[in-house]
Protein backbone atom coordinates (compact mmCIF):
# COMPACT_ATOMS: atom_id res chain seq x y z
CA UNK A 1 0.00 0.00 0.00
CA UNK A 2 1.48 3.28 -1.12
CA UNK A 3 1.11 6.44 0.96
CA UNK A 4 0.26 9.60 -0.96
CA UNK A 5 1.41 13.11 -0.13
CA UNK A 6 -0.11 15.82 -2.30
CA UNK A 7 1.39 19.33 -2.26
CA UNK A 8 -1.41 21.89 -2.55
CA UNK A 9 0.65 25.07 -2.41
CA UNK A 10 1.80 27.65 0.09
CA UNK A 11 -0.28 29.57 2.61
CA UNK A 12 1.62 32.47 4.20
CA UNK A 13 4.93 31.05 2.89
CA UNK A 14 4.33 27.66 4.53
CA UNK A 15 3.64 24.44 2.66
CA UNK A 16 0.23 22.84 2.73
CA UNK A 17 -0.11 19.10 2.04
CA UNK A 18 -2.86 16.51 1.85
CA UNK A 19 -1.53 13.25 3.26
CA UNK A 20 -2.79 9.68 3.34
CA UNK A 21 -2.31 8.42 6.88
CA UNK A 22 -3.03 5.36 8.94
CA UNK A 23 -6.48 6.64 9.97
CA UNK A 24 -7.43 8.36 6.72
CA UNK A 25 -6.68 11.57 4.86
CA UNK A 26 -5.45 14.64 6.68
CA UNK A 27 -4.25 18.13 5.93
CA UNK A 28 -0.79 19.11 7.11
CA UNK A 29 0.08 22.80 7.54
CA UNK A 30 2.41 24.72 9.87
CA UNK A 31 3.34 21.57 11.86
CA UNK A 32 -0.37 20.91 12.57
CA UNK A 33 -2.55 18.13 11.21
CA UNK A 34 -6.24 18.49 10.43
CA UNK A 35 -8.36 15.40 9.72
CA UNK A 36 -10.28 15.61 6.47
CA UNK A 37 -13.84 14.27 6.79
CA UNK A 38 -14.51 11.05 4.93
CA UNK A 39 -17.21 12.63 2.78
CA UNK A 40 -14.70 15.05 1.20
CA UNK A 41 -12.68 13.60 -1.65
CA UNK A 42 -8.98 14.42 -1.11
CA UNK A 43 -8.46 14.72 -4.88
CA UNK A 44 -10.97 17.58 -5.01
CA UNK A 45 -9.36 19.37 -2.06
CA UNK A 46 -7.66 22.53 -3.37
CA UNK A 47 -5.62 25.30 -1.72
CA UNK A 48 -8.59 27.65 -1.25
CA UNK A 49 -10.67 24.91 0.39
CA UNK A 50 -7.73 23.96 2.60
CA UNK A 51 -7.27 27.55 3.74
CA UNK A 52 -10.96 27.90 4.65
CA UNK A 53 -10.91 24.52 6.42
CA UNK A 54 -7.84 25.50 8.48
CA UNK A 55 -9.44 28.82 9.46
CA UNK A 56 -12.62 27.00 10.49
CA UNK A 57 -10.76 24.40 12.57
CA UNK A 58 -8.67 27.09 14.29
CA UNK A 59 -11.80 29.09 15.09
CA UNK A 60 -13.45 26.02 16.60
CA UNK A 61 -10.30 25.24 18.56
CA UNK A 62 -10.15 28.71 20.13
CA UNK A 63 -13.87 28.64 20.80
CA UNK A 64 -13.60 25.44 22.85
CA UNK A 65 -10.33 26.36 24.56
CA UNK A 66 -11.77 29.48 26.17
CA UNK A 67 -13.47 28.78 29.44
CA UNK A 68 -17.14 29.51 29.31
CA UNK A 69 -19.40 29.72 32.28
CA UNK A 70 -21.81 26.82 32.45
CA UNK A 71 -25.31 27.83 31.39
CA UNK A 72 -27.57 28.82 34.23
CA UNK A 73 -30.48 26.50 34.71
CA UNK A 74 -33.77 28.29 34.64
CA UNK A 75 -35.92 28.15 37.70
CA UNK A 76 -38.88 27.30 35.53
CA UNK A 77 -40.16 23.81 35.78
CA UNK A 78 -39.16 21.63 32.88
CA UNK A 79 -42.25 20.66 30.95
CA UNK A 80 -42.78 18.17 28.19
CA UNK A 81 -42.46 20.13 24.96
CA UNK A 82 -43.92 18.90 21.75
CA UNK A 83 -41.53 17.44 19.23
CA UNK A 84 -42.03 20.44 16.94
CA UNK A 85 -41.18 22.96 19.68
CA UNK A 86 -38.06 21.02 20.56
CA UNK A 87 -37.00 20.97 16.91
CA UNK A 88 -37.55 24.74 16.61
CA UNK A 89 -35.41 25.38 19.70
CA UNK A 90 -32.68 23.16 18.28
CA UNK A 91 -32.74 24.98 14.92
CA UNK A 92 -32.52 28.35 16.69
CA UNK A 93 -29.48 27.19 18.65
CA UNK A 94 -27.78 26.00 15.46
CA UNK A 95 -28.51 29.24 13.62
CA UNK A 96 -26.91 31.15 16.53
CA UNK A 97 -23.74 29.02 16.26
CA UNK A 98 -23.42 29.62 12.51
CA UNK A 99 -23.65 33.42 12.91
CA UNK A 100 -20.58 33.63 15.13
Which pLDDT score is estimated for 88?
76
Per-domain residue ranges of the chain:
5-65
The dihedral formed by the CA atoms of 34, 18, 8 and 28, expressed in degrees to the nearest 10: 40
Which pLDDT score is estimated for 2?
65
Local confidence pLDDT in tens for the 100 residues of the chain: 566 888 888 988 899 999 999 899 999 999 999 999 888 888 888 899 889 999 999 888 888 877 666 666 655 544 555 667 777 776 777 766 555 4
Which pLDDT score is estimated for 77?
47
Which pLDDT score is estimated for 79?
53
31: left (phi over 0), alpha (psi -120 to 50) or beta: left
Give the pairing type, strands 32-35 and 14-21: unpaired
Q: Give pTM, 2 decimals.
A: 0.57
Which pLDDT score is estimated for 69?
64
Amino acid sequence: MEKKNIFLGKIEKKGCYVNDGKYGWFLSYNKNNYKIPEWISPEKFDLETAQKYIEYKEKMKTMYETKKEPPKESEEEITDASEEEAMEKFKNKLSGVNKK
